[in-house]
Amino acid sequence: MMTNPARRITQGQFSFLPDLDDVEIGQQIDYGLRKGFAWSVEYTDDPHPRNTYWEMHGMPMFDLSDAAGVLQEVRECRRAFPGHYIRLVAFDSTRGIESVAMSFIVQRPADEPGFRLLRQEGPGRSMRYTVQGYAADRPESQRY
Amino acid sequence: MAASVADVLASSQVESVLDELDRELIGLVPVKQRIRDIAALLVIDKLRRDLDLQAHRPSLHMSFTGNPGTGKTTVAMRMAQILHRLDYVRKGHLVAVTRDDLVGQYIGHTAPKTKDVLKKAMGGVLFIDEAYYLYRPENERDYGQEAIEILLQVMENQRDDLVVILAGYGDRMETFFRSNPGLSSRIAHHLAFPDYRPEELLDIGERMLEGMNYRFDDEAREVFAHYLARRVAQPHFANARSVRNALDRMRLRQASRLFAQRERAMTRTDLTTIVAADIRASRVFETPATA
């Protein structure tokens, strides 16, 4: 995550593959629906690896049987946020699991500058490290 | 590659669904004929597609009109299966809703609610029962209109994703369509469900009993025919639904008749047979058969 040679953020599933097209996304959604997951669409302009909670685009979609409904929501989100990161998250509500079962990016900005590594000297010879997105330096509306 | 109608039928098993429809649903001749027509069109389209001919996806939104208890919901359920076997819809489930599920209670509540239902129905059939309640002309600020508009948009633009079936009683649906011409014109198939004839009702009753592991004895069958003749003339007659209710009451009477015979060992025949007395006790026989 610290290095970003391909200028391409790798988070969630399939992120080392070329971007999925809508048919492939639909197939993944269908797979999740068959497993009984509830899909939801999330977006952000701050893809920091520790930024777990992205903004929700609408409610999680329970009780669906076909990918068309989820894809429609993805398209609406793309229209509203053409330059943001958008990901699909599948929630498994099985008792005892109750957590995210799948998650992958379905839209990324054209240019992804990646993250810088910040070093901070601590007491003695200790060194603290953190990462910061280059894009996150700019105000919210100008990041991507 | 499929080359003949028989090949497509064999691979899709649609024949068995149609036969089932014929066997299990009594009467409804015009409805069955239309379903056969639709099935035929879809089969031929499949053949055309295999030969790279233009096969325009037909619009299959439907309206079912008919009196209560004429089998609108039952047929809608079958329709979802048939369309699934013919590869017209991807999943073949039925989502049955009424006004409450589509229309919200305050401004801004309706659109998400309707969209939610539409999303759930995608890949299958959306069945809107008593659809005329969606439109309430007496209240101009009613949110039903909003739901209708969203519905129209999806019916037009996402024809591949779902089939919408509107159902309701004949006269009120007519008023509904007259005041929403846009909706009416987007529905290709208007199916009218006829009332059942008395002998069809008798068949339906016997079939229902069979499903519940009961049967009439010979006399009871005759009395039940009389019962139906009287019941049909009475107000609030709801076709097959009334038959089902009547049968449930007969089962109650049969049960208390048997219950009264404490010492008797019940045979299988005793437990499954409904006799004439169980039917004669009905309220329907109290009034003289003038109507």
pLDDT digits (tens, 9 = 90+) for B230-253: 888 888 888 999 999 999 999 999
Question: What residue spans of B25-141 are helical by DSSP H?
Answer: 29-50, 72-85, 99-102, 110-121
Instruction: Name the minimum distance, in Å, from the CA of B166 to any CA of chain A.
Output: 20
Collect all residues of chain B within an 8 Å Cβ-Cβ radius of residue A59: 112, 116
Q: pLDDT tens digits, residue range B138-147?
A: 887 889 999 9
Tell me: pLDDT of A117 over 50.
yes
What's the confidence (pLDDT) of residue A143?
A: 87
pLDDT of res. A3: 61
Mean pLDDT value of segment A84-92: 96
Which parts of chain B are beta strand (E)? 62-66, 94-97, 125-128, 163-168, 189-193, 215-216, 273-274
Percent of chain B with pLDDT strictly greater than 70: 98
What's the angle, vertex CA B267, arms to CA B262 and CA B272, rounded to 5? 100
Could you tell me whether strands B189-193 and B94-97 are parallel, antiparallel, or unpaired per DSSP bridges?
A: unpaired
Q: Closest by alpha carbon to B277, among B205, B207, B212, B227? A: B227
pLDDT value at residue B2:
53
Using CB atoms, pick whichever of B112, B116, B122 lies closest to residue A66. B122
Dump pLDDT digits (tens) for B149-193: 999 999 988 888 899 999 999 899 999 999 888 888 889 899 999
Residue in B closest to A69 by C-alpha: B119
Q: Is the pLDDT of residue A75 over 90?
A: yes
Q: According to the model, what pLDDT value does residue B7 have?
A: 78
Task: Give the model confidence (pLDDT) of B48-64 as tens digits.
Answer: 888 888 877 888 999 99
The answer to whether residue A1 scores a pLDDT higher than 50 is: no
| Closest of B31, B4, B50, B71 to residue B208, by C-alpha | B71
Taking the CA atoms of chain A, what radius of gyration do you get in angstroms?
17
Chain A, residues 42-61, CB within 8 A of chain B, namely 58-59, 61
The residue written with tokens 């948009």 in the block is B153
CB B139 within 8 A of CB B133: no
CB contact under 8 A, B122 and A63: no
Q: Which among B122, B125, B160 is the top mutation candidate for probing chain A, defined by the most A β-carbons within 10 Å of its own β-carbon?
A: B122
Name the residue with tokens 């209109």. Answer: B145
ipTM of the complex: 0.81
pLDDT reading at A2 higher than 90: no
Quick one: pLDDT at residue B291? 43
Q: In what helix (H) or strand (E) does residue A106 lie, and over which residues does it extend?
A: strand A99-107
Of A59, A66, A70, the CB nearest to B90: A66
Residues of A in contact with B93 (CB under 8 A): 65
CB contact under 8 A, B124 and A73: no
B119-134 per-position pLDDT tens digit: 999 999 999 999 999 9
In this prediction, residues A3-32 reach a mean pLDDT of 90
B208/B224 Cα distance (integer angstroms): 13
Burial of A26 (0-12, 13-18, 19+ CB in 10 A): middle
What pLDDT does B159 receive? 85
Q: Which residue of B has its CA nearest to A73?
A: B119
What token pair was written down for B147? Answer: 């739901």
From B121, B49, B53, B128, select the one nearest B90 (Cα to Cα).
Answer: B121
A66 in reach of chain B (CB within 8 A): yes
Give the tens place of pLDDT for each residue, B29-51. Answer: 888 888 888 888 888 888 888 88
User: Could you give the CA distance from residue A101 to residue B236 in angstroms, rounded to a whole number?
Assistant: 52
Q: At B115, phi and psi to the nearest 5?
A: -65, -40
Q: Which residues of B touch A73 (CB under 8 A)?
A: 119
- Inform me whether the C-beta atom of residue A68 falls under 8 Å from chain B C-beta atoms: yes
HSE on the CB side for A62, CA within 13 Å?
5
Q: Residue A142, exposed/middle/buried by CB under 10 A (0-12, 13-18, 19+)?
A: exposed
Interchain contact, A69 vs B93, CB within 8 Å: no
Q: Do B119 and A64 touch (CB under 8 A)?
A: yes
Between chains, do B118 and A69 touch, taking CB under 8 Å as contact?
A: yes
- pLDDT at residue number B236: 85
Best of B97, B119, B158 to mutate (most A CBs within 10 Å, chain A): B119
Per-residue pLDDT for B287 more than 80?
no
Distance between CA atoms of A19 and A12, rounded to whole angstroms?
12
* CB environment B220-238: b (16+ within 10 A), e (fewer): bbebbbbbbebbbeeeebe
In Å, how far is B265's CA from the nearest CA of chain A?
A: 49
Test A65 with B93 for CB contact under 8 angstroms.
Answer: yes
pLDDT tens digits for range B50-109: 888 887 788 899 999 998 889 898 888 888 888 888 888 998 899 999 999 999 999 999
What pTM was computed for the model? 0.83
Radius of gyration over every alpha carbon of chain B, rounded to an integer in angstroms: 23
